[in-house]
Structure 1
């Protein structure tokens, strides 16, 4: 089943025709779909070195074209700042053969997609995550400010979305307790400054080799945001000990750490109910993240300002 209402259809036959027609130099390369828990794009490999990404949600061509151009620029900027390999943009394709939107081609990276629990107890993985976040924060914002809403901005902007999530989660999650957590999170003071942020450090966007981080995917959202936004990785991928090590490595103060948990919480609440049937992997990630936050002793006591 599709993950979204009005989800676009794309398959290997359509991709093969698009590639052959628009990029004849790749026409003899094998095209095969990549199974992922991703929710925004369908992913196809082209031969051994390239990946094609096709947006799943319908919008107009001009909007998608502008978005893909922005994402390519952000990917190049991320690549320059990131201490780990990232995909490099190669080309932008045009609509055709029944697929109505532009699409993108980038380089393929080797590695195994991370999971919420696969490296949760690894000190080395926690240190690699810290090295990644440190490097991204150190990148030059070039005077840019946070320009959007939702994740990375004011936590209160998510109130309406969170209310829908609580309503949809009745019978699935301990909603009363989760409401109490959100009440504490949404009242946190503003971050006060912005840094460059990946913006979506979930397991599906990181590649590992055993317990080492070896690649960073989906860099099209690299932009200025709340310094704590990339800390969502702590609750998406680390156990209590790993989180403590990550926090120590990054010297995160109370406010930054609480805001990191708040962004992870905001993201996880939507995953559980929205993808319960259509993407069980993403739904399970949301559950695991919420359990980690709800069971963290830090959030069972009032926050003390420093």
Structure 2
């Protein structure tokens, strides 16, 4: 008998290979005979399965990820020609069935590995992706998740700091957060990915090959895409990334605050249920505190 599945969210759907097989066979019979295997992932919103050699199936775990399925199906084909590396290509949109209540999607498989560490070369290539994203001028873009004023995250961030008393240096974390809050807001909103976690990057022999998971993408504060400076890069490569992306002191401060807020909220929430996310959150907090203290 297998070990019980540990869910990350109280309202998470039950999703397993048998359910996905039934969904695919019922709605995309041409793919029904393909092999299917769950993809181990530190993702928190979607369950992922590899279908055959060239496809992936992506199903929201929670209600909060449902609208993103349709959003990505609309926007990914429009964004792809404008970006310098591969991004997911949707090829099928499933509907609720078999007891599963929400839409789900089939995308093309993209080869690559999640980076285990940053490098100067990766910093420059990721900055090139961010710069290309900022140049996009597609009209009527959705609002980026986390892309609004930093003050909107203040309550959740301070609550997380209280939860982490005794776990991190809460005094410095608070000072870093308040410094970011005091920074001037962005003068203009631009297209941003807004979730450039290491798990959403794919590399091939150290080179950036693809960026995935565009659920949070849209128009918002460009500082959202400075977050990799602290979640992937160490001090030296962080400066390479900063120079390559062209961040001034004000934007850098906001970006550091966004990285810190995200990590502070993630650490207590995922400490027991998603070790990968929790470990990265701890890394971000350590990097931000050291960076802020100078």
TM-score (structure 1 length as normaliser) = 0.90
Is the 1:78–1:219 Cα contact (8 Å) retained in structure 2? no
Query: What per-residue deviation string (whole Å, max 9, x for no partner) do you get for residues 197-217 of structure 1?
Result: 111101010001232111110
Quote the Cα distance in structure 2 between the aligned partners of 1:266 and 1:242. Answer: 22
1:35 maps onto 2:37 in alignment = no
Query: What per-residue deviation string (whole Å, max 9, x for no partner) do you get for residues 148-192 of structure 1?
Result: 6x7211111111111221122123222222111111111111111
Query: What per-residue deviation string (whole Å, max 9, x for no partner) do you get for residues 113-135 of structure 1?
Result: 123xx2x2x21111111111111
Aligned-residue RMSD, C-alpha? 1.7
Quote the Cα distance in structure 2 between the aligned partners of 1:143 and 1:14. Answer: 36
Is the 2:179–2:253 Cα contact (8 Å) retained in structure 1? no
1:205 maps onto 2:208 in alignment = no
Tell me the residue number matched to 1:230. Answer: 225
Tell me the residue number matched to 2:89. Answer: 88
Quote the Cα distance in structure 2 between the aligned partners of 1:69 and 1:281. Answer: 27
User: 201, 205, 215: which one pairs with 2:210?
Assistant: 215
Quote the Cα distance in structure 2 between the aligned partners of 1:210 and 1:175. Answer: 38
Is the 1:91–1:104 Cα contact (8 Å) retained in structure 2? yes
Gaps of 5+ in 1: 302-306
**CA spacing shift, 1:137–1:27, aligned 2, 3 Å:** same
1:220 deviates by 3.4
TM-score (structure 2 length as normaliser) = 0.93
1:70 deviates by 1.6
Quote the Cα distance in structure 1 between the aligned partners of 2:248 and 2:261. Answer: 20
Quote the Cα distance in structure 1 between the aligned partners of 2:140 and 2:44. Answer: 31
1:143 deviates by 6.4
Is the 1:235–1:289 Cα contact (8 Å) retained in structure 2? yes
Quote the Cα distance in structure 1 between the aligned partners of 2:275 and 2:266. Answer: 9
1:183 maps onto 2:181 in alignment = no
Q: Report runs of 4+ in structure 1 exceeding 3 Å deviation.
A: none
Structure 1 residues 1-306: aligned runs within 5 Å:
1-58=6-63, 64=66, 66-115=67-116, 118=117, 120=118, 122-142=119-139, 147=143, 151-296=146-291, 299-300=292-293
Quote the Cα distance in structure 1 between the aligned partners of 2:140 and 2:42. Answer: 35
Paired positions, count: 289
Gaps of 5+ in 2: 1-5
Quote the Cα distance in structure 2 between the aligned partners of 1:153 and 1:192. Answer: 12
Tell me the residue number matched to 1:304. Answer: none
Is the 1:75–1:220 Cα contact (8 Å) retained in structure 2? no
